Amino acid sequence: MNILCSHFGKCGGCQTQNLDYNIQLLEKENFVREIFKEFNVEDFQKIIPSPDIWYYRNKMEFVFGKEKNGEIIAGLREKNKFYKVVDLKECRISVDEVSEILEIAKKWAKENNLQPYDFFTHKGKLRYIVVKHSKTYNEIMLNVIVTGTKYQIQNNEKEIFEDIVKRYNSLSSVSSIYLSINNNVSDNAIPQEIFHLYGKKYIKEDINGIEYLISPTIFLQTNPRCCKDLYRLILDEIIEGNTLDLYCGSGGITLQIAKYKPVGKIIGIDASKENIEVAFENLKINSISLDIVEFINENVENFLLKLWKSKFLSNLSNVILDPPRPGLSKKVKSIINEINANKIIYVSCNPKTLYEDLKSFIKFYKIKKIIPIDMFPHTPHIEIICVLEHR
Ligand SMILES: C[S@@+](CC[C@H](N)C(=O)[O-])C[C@H]1O[C@@H](n2cnc3c(N)ncnc32)[C@H](O)[C@@H]1O
């Protein structure tokens, strides 16, 4: 038995902590093999373990809630009970300071008479506290997500938010604090407006000698130490010629290729404006030349429709696909098949959508390699690299 966390069993965060890590790995590897067994995979590799199995995540979204007696609590949703919150005293996959961070937030809420948001009645102020953590530099960024208006925050509630900043001064690793507004009725931690309250605008993470800026809204792989292996394995697959990095986030893979395997031009595409702005900043802070890299803020679908006219296409060798969990649209799959790149490197965090998407490619591409990577220990999730080569 492996259990370390006192909330195991009730908390919906980690669900397989009771299994020995080697058994978790074996189960995940078998699960992936089973899903892809109908394909003729030339090289099905062993699962790559996460270098850290505790405190590995760099981002957690903790939600505010209320006990029956009215007491404010903060933590993660209960297993199979999305409407209940487990009041966390620790979180073994996040940062060591979680207990202090949540205690400070709860005390602040109580003493300022703030109520948690209730998503049945849509009333209440406090929604989430998002904790981002740089593993390399041990710096924490907090983003407190509330309902309300910019006017309220900057006028009658100003002192309340100055108060939370003062309270977090006691934690030396908290080096950046943001406040965000989210008035959406759907339950998520996506901010509509963001205000910088304290400290650094960005914190930084180092992945294989490249620095990545972290802001409240940018995408960065959530297990940065394991991501080193993910990026190294992708680099190994890159062949001479141009590369398209579709769904590039804040430039994670593009920057690695530009620095360590600059064998052609690289274009990174992402639909999020913030991701692309930070991707350009990442180029600057790593002194990577704009001669070989371009970042474009666009939907992949729209970008691909325009690609036909570009000279870049005549020397296109590698297409990297790293879409969000729902996978690729029909349109994207059909254009990818038409542009005829020599290699497709598909990075997926959802084996089921990867399986569906591969069916569209196997007429023109053979599946050379599947490499499962355990980016998410103690959870059922798994990352997969799938390498396709043109027939
Ligand atoms: C899994 S992340 C990519 C991570 C990136 N490869 C990395 O290593 O950091 C998926 C990205 O897809 C972007 N995205 C989602 N839908 C999109 C679309 N239709 N077109 C372009 N980008 C999209 C999101 O903004 C997000 O950054």
What confidence tens digit (pLDDT) does each residue in 246-275 have? 999 999 999 999 999 999 999 999 999 999
Same domain, 278 and 355: yes
Same domain, 164 and 235: no
User: How far, in Å, is the centroid of ligand 1 from the Cα of 249?
Assistant: 5
Quick one: how far is CA 210 from the chain centroid? 17
Contacts of 116 (CB under 8 A, 6+ apart): 64, 65, 66, 72, 73, 109, 124, 125, 126, 127
Total domains in the chain come to 2
- 6 located within any domain: no
Check pLDDT > 80 for residue 167. Answer: yes
Q: Which two tokens stand for residue 335?
A: 């254009």
What is d(CA 342, CA 48) in angstroms, rounded to the nearest whole number? 26
Same domain, 138 and 101: yes
Length of the chain: 391
The residue among 207, 233, 265 that closes a domain is 207
Same domain, 225 and 345: yes
- 12 located within any domain: no
pLDDT of residue 1: 55
Instruction: Characterize the bridge pairing of strands 343-348 and 383-390.
Output: antiparallel
CATH classification at residue 160: 2.40.50.1070
CATH classification at residue 250: 3.40.50.150
The H or E element containing residue 197 is strand 193-199
Check pLDDT > 90 for residue 235. Answer: yes
Instruction: Characterize the bridge pairing of strands 242-246 and 72-78.
Output: unpaired
pLDDT, tens digit, 9 for 90 and up, residues 264-309: 999 999 999 999 999 999 999 999 999 999 999 999 999 999 987 7
- 212 located within any domain: no
Q: Which two tokens stand for residue 32?
A: 């992936």
Q: Please tell me whether residue 343 adopts helix, strand or coil conformation.
A: strand
Query: What is the mean predicted confidence (pLDDT) over 354-358?
Result: 98
Same domain, 81 and 169: yes
Same domain, 90 and 26: no
Whole-number average pLDDT of the chain: 96
Please check whether residue 150 is in contact with residue 193, taking contact to mean a CB–CB distance below 8 angstroms: yes
- 4 located within any domain: no
Please check whether residue 336 is in contact with residue 304, taking contact to mean a CB–CB distance below 8 angstroms: yes
Same domain, 304 and 366: yes
**Catalytic: which of 5, 227, 248, 349?**
349
- 343 located within any domain: yes
* 349 assigned to active site: yes
Which atom, in ligand 1's list, is nearest to the CA of 323? Answer: 10
The residue among 157, 177, 207 that closes a domain is 207
Same domain, 308 and 377: yes
pTM: 0.96
Residues with beta carbon inside 6 Å of ligand 1? 219-221, 247-249, 252-253, 269-272, 275, 299-300, 322, 324
- 14 located within any domain: no
- 360 located within any domain: yes
Same domain, 232 and 357: yes
Same domain, 254 and 142: no
Please check whether residue 63 is in contact with residue 91, taking contact to mean a CB–CB distance below 8 angstroms: no
Same domain, 202 and 231: no
Question: Tokens 């270098």 — which residue?
Answer: 51
Most ligand 1 atoms within 8 A of CB, residue of 207, 208, 248, 298 to mutate: 248
User: How far, in Å, is the centroid of ligand 1 from the Cα of 371?
Assistant: 20
- 373 located within any domain: yes
pLDDT of residue 99: 95
- Strands (E) located in 239-327: 242-246, 266-270, 293-297, 316-321
Please check whether residue 189 is in contact with residue 127, taking contact to mean a CB–CB distance below 8 angstroms: yes
* Domain assignment of residue 46, given as a range: 21-53+221-390
Query: What is the mean predicted confidence (pLDDT) over 143-156?
Result: 96
How distant, in Å, are the alpha carbons of 154, 354, 388 from that of 359?
A: 53, 9, 12
Same domain, 184 and 273: no
- β-bridge mates for residue 48, sequence order: 373
